[in-house]
Structure 1
């Protein structure tokens, strides 16, 4: 199979994804659970000011799997290329859900699927090209159990009784400097004023990035949150939002907006108003 044929096949595979980034303007959408009429979701994406294609991609949908309903929500924030986040849209959740122990041990299944997916991306580097992607994923199982995983600096925040609780970990190079140096890499603020792995990448964990992968990790942090009466809503967003807004500010900004898509759009508009120049993508899942 030639590289062009592979990319064409990949694009056909990812047609099912929702909320693909666009270099044209904004993109948005909404949906709801069939199991619970109270649980809805909405997303909104806005291209940043950089002179390249939109590199944020979003998944937001509910799906029936093995007589269970799963809400699948993700944000993939690419760097140097949009191809790898595009690939993740079509493959990461499939790899997670086909793990035989997913229902019994979702944390282990997700970690294994992240590892398998990254290995495949590296093996296909000749077709997928250079660059990589961060990822934050959230799987809502039967409207009761929320499993969040991430690599990089996109973030998941849940609002419980009006209070923000971060469910993901920001993988900043300074926080993992020792591990990076143990792999033979280094963390430098030059060029610029942001800590970067080998002076190149501003996150310590990511998919892809074959040229410096030996110094990076793709191991996700995974957390589990049970959805009870205290849970109001979930926010997933790329760092284009979190660079200019704290977790609690984001929660306060949308706590009175009932429509999930309107809430997601409001957060992107607020980030732009605060001079965020990055691509901004937001998913809001209303849990009440």
Structure 2
């Protein structure tokens, strides 16, 4: 992590003239420049990659899975695990090797103009597998959590939610297919209960709220989570973070922001006996600017942790998936974000003619392209004067046509 200080001048603005150090205006002006905590990451393939091969039985034509050169049973954030039953197929010596790469991705998270960083990002490639006699389909977990009140609920979600989802999927493993709506709803409710229990058991957190109000329950976090399988994109959203799919150049929102003045959310809050008060925008009881979140026990039952779940079939026209906190979406439209990512994905294929002066390859892989896209989106949000933390995950969903 590195801390950088920067001032952004928007389009059409003129630079501020130099102010004398001793003037009162200089003191007031200095408050506008706050440290930007900057984190960037991208998927980096490991040289020793876990592989699985599917051997072909000549008599039955059924595959038998065996492992080969597996170095780690579980992948870390920067490892790519290649698993059976995927798009790239080759046949040699009575063997069928079926492999699918983990989707490549890029992550950027900046503190922005806030004094504290309360966002968290969670990425777990191949965090679990749906196993059957012939298939081992890898599931990949991507999540963005935007904390409020403090950072510890977002941090807990980062550390635990993917494990809870894995456990819920495991419980349904005997079924032919996963009931994603039920699975994700149960996972979010379990996560919310863990947050509640952490305050009751006075679990220690290394954060500012421990110093101000020990074991405060007036802390929460949004959660937008995407589970990407070979066939589906499952998005679960609780709060005002957002997931957007770019398909054939069109931005398709896969989640809907939970704002207190959204008509159905407003009716739900009123039915529960709560009120939406307009105080610098619509807020539940005049306090919280979102109607769903994990945590925020003092606002229950008006603020709930139940997510809205969408299941989208993957298509060969899919280009990318963007998950981001409202620090981005408050100032950048869905279409604009998709165009930025498209530009980066196309740039990776641009190569100057060999031997030409200054010839360079502008991208060495879509992992770098996704990382560049996430960085550009955060810079765009800051240039448009976003006042919140900004966290962005870009996932490359492009794939070759499956062989028939």
TM-score bracket for this pair, using the shorter chain length: 0.7 to 0.9
Residue 284 (str. 1) matches residue 394 (str. 2) = yes
Instruction: Report the CA distance between 1:24 and its aligned residue.
Output: 6.5
From 103, 122, 128, the counterpart of 2:196: 122
Instruction: Report the CA distance between 1:124 and its aligned residue.
Output: 2.1
More helix per residue: 1 or 2? Answer: 1
The equivalent of 1:45 in structure 2 is 109
Say which SS state the counterpart of residue 139 (structure 2) adopts. strand
From 302, 327, 331, the counterpart of 1:244: 331
What is the rounded CA distance, in whole Å, between the counterparts of 1:39 and 1:63 in structure 2?
A: 10
Instruction: Report the CA distance between 1:146 and its aligned residue.
Output: 1.0
The equivalent of 1:92 in structure 2 is 161
Does the CA-based 8 Å contact 1:79-1:131 persist in structure 2? Answer: yes
What is the rounded CA distance, in whole Å, between the counterparts of 2:392 and 2:144 in structure 1?
A: 8
Does the CA-based 8 Å contact 1:41-1:60 persist in structure 2? Answer: no
From 259, 262, 275, the counterpart of 2:372: 262
State the TM-score, normalized to the length of structure 1. Answer: 0.87
Instruction: Report the CA distance between 1:277 and its aligned residue.
Output: 1.4
Task: Out of 73-82 and 107-116, give the one that drifted further.
Answer: 107-116
The equivalent of 1:272 in structure 2 is 382
Say which SS state the counterpart of residue 70 (structure 1) adopts. strand
The equivalent of 1:5 in structure 2 is none
Does the CA-based 8 Å contact 1:75-1:237 persist in structure 2? Answer: yes
What is the rounded CA distance, in whole Å, between the counterparts of 2:127 and 2:271 in structure 1?
A: 43
Residues 199 and 251 of structure 1: is their aligned pair in 2 closer, same or farther, counting only changes over 3 Å? same
What is the rounded CA distance, in whole Å, between the counterparts of 2:81 and 2:152 in structure 1?
A: 32
What is the rounded CA distance, in whole Å, between the counterparts of 1:70 and 1:197 in structure 2?
A: 36
From 100, 119, 124, the counterpart of 1:61: 124
Larger Rg: 2
Task: Out of 194-203 and 121-130, give the one that drifted further.
Answer: 121-130
The equivalent of 2:363 in structure 1 is none
Does the CA-based 8 Å contact 1:180-1:215 persist in structure 2? Answer: yes
Say which SS state the counterpart of residue 290 (structure 2) adopts. coil
What is the rounded CA distance, in whole Å, between the counterparts of 1:49 and 1:86 in structure 2?
A: 20
What is the rounded CA distance, in whole Å, between the counterparts of 2:243 and 2:397 in structure 1?
A: 14
The equivalent of 1:178 in structure 2 is 267
Instruction: Report the CA distance between 1:63 and its aligned residue.
Output: 2.1
Does the CA-based 8 Å contact 2:240-2:257 persist in structure 1? Answer: yes
1:207-253 per-position Cα deviation (integer Å, ceiling 9, x unaligned): 00111122111110000112211100000000000000111111112
Does the CA-based 8 Å contact 1:38-1:287 persist in structure 2? Answer: no
1:66-116 per-position Cα deviation (integer Å, ceiling 9, x unaligned): 443221100000001100000011111111111112652122111111111
From 17, 25, 40, the counterpart of 1:28: 40
Does the CA-based 8 Å contact 2:127-2:166 persist in structure 1? Answer: no
Residue 160 (str. 1) matches residue 234 (str. 2) = no
Say which SS state the counterpart of residue 104 (structure 1) adopts. coil
The answer to which structure, 1 or 2, has the higher relative contact order (CA under 8 A, 6+ apart) is 1
State the TM-score, normalized to the length of structure 2. Answer: 0.62
What is the rounded CA distance, in whole Å, between the counterparts of 1:160 and 1:214 in structure 2?
A: 37
- Alignment gaps of 5+ in structure 2: 2-34, 46-79, 83-99, 130-135, 204-214, 346-368, 399-404
Q: CA RMSD in A?
A: 2.0
What is the rounded CA distance, in whole Å, between the counterparts of 2:189 and 2:379 in structure 1?
A: 35
What is the rounded CA distance, in whole Å, between the counterparts of 2:127 and 2:288 in structure 1?
A: 37
